[in-house]
Structure 1
Amino acid sequence: MTIADVPHVLDVRGLSKVYGTGETAVHALRDVDLTVRRGEYVAVIGQSGSGKSTLLNVLGCLDAPTSGRYLLEGLDVAYLDERQQAVLRNRQIGFVFQAFNLIPRTSALANVELPLVYAGVGRRVRRERALAALELVGLSGRADHRPNQLSGGQQQRVAVARALVTSPALLLADEPTGNLDSASTADVLGLFDRLHAAGRTIVLITHDDEVAARAERVVVVTDGRLTEVGPRRVAAR
């Protein structure tokens, strides 16, 4: 069986995360089940303290669950050591953060190339791939610009290009419009719509009903538990 034969990019079963022990224990996630099909666009919505940030960290292989199973592309992450998980994060997961996390003194092109540098890709190939990723997000003409020469929406599009440059199995977006004005928010969400239409698998973490309503499917995190809401736009109020 090849990776393409695995129907679910994400397959989470009975996932729990507990911080601390005894009376001070905090149950951040409680028996979570979640599957995400290849090419699906899923929004995970929840208020501050609901457990959605913990879920993001587990899905992104930034934190380990206390119990339960997490399969990414059919691979059980629990059996990977730290080095293998780091390789998995770099190659199979594209991260988009609220704060952009761009390197200030380098160009948009250099920022997008960074995951390929870590992967040991040669200079010519990584430049070609980074330029193609910038073109995909509509910023090929801004390749030489530094972050402070770009608008907030453009900076986030650079971050999306960086997330896509390794052709990851999963695009994991954490409050990607949280620092943007309404026009830039619409621009970035439109980009996600186009990426989804092109077959990208996206999991978007948000506290905003209107952002979540753009997704194909919505799940709600409350006190560490997941509840399925349903298809597109049912989360809108």
Structure 2
Amino acid sequence: MTNILLSGANGNMGRAVTRTVENNDKVKITAGYDINTVKNSDFPVYDNLDEVKEPFDVIIDFSHPSVFDSILEFSVKTKTPAVICTTGLSGEQISKMKAASKKAPIFFSANMSLGVNLLIDLVCKAAKLLDGSFDIEIIEKHHNQKLDAPSGTALAIADAISDAVSFDTEYIYDRHNVRKKRDKSEIGIHAVRGGTIVGEHDVIFAGNDEIIEIKHSASSKEVFAVGAVKAAVFMKGKPCGMYDMKDLIEQS
């Protein structure tokens, strides 16, 4: 049994994790952490981490960048593995997370969907094979309440492509005010916000007389919750260090 402390318990993703765990006899949410302490399930919700009395093996964090530091500090203080699922983290916060991983086990992935991480693997293989002969564009779509743009997943895809190709790449986010031809080194990254789109990521390889598209669409938030719970089970008992979805997939 893996006992979970769920940060952001009463948010949309926190409730999705709760639903995912309900029918899983290998995982239990023993306590929640949220500014909203309404009890919506069979576990208590605290607004102060130091008040948590229930036992927990792993922290799942689906909260907000504003409380990220407190989660990280609590993970280090309690030597508890943390699965960080919060999006929109700053570069400084990412650096703090990497430093904290020397004192506590930290799992971080820009996207917790297994399908998205398979997409990244396929895109890298395509980029390496096509290496410079196709123009690469990334289009991501999300709901109209998402604050950060482009998405962390779109940037993770671009970073993976950059590592896979043999040339230096340049990320281009906006072309409307620059009148010049597209450079071969460019990776275009475009954000669409509207309605209730859960999440779509489309990678386009545009060549001479042919186009290759690799796409992933999420129909519900449950796909991210499933990945987070799998990561929590994976992280139980792990030594200090940084872990990601690639580690989980390789060791599954």
Shorter-chain TM-score bucket reads: under 0.3
Q: Give the TM-score of the pair, scaled to structure 1.
A: 0.27
Larger radius of gyration: 2
Whose RCO is larger (CA < 8 A, sep 6+)?
Answer: 1
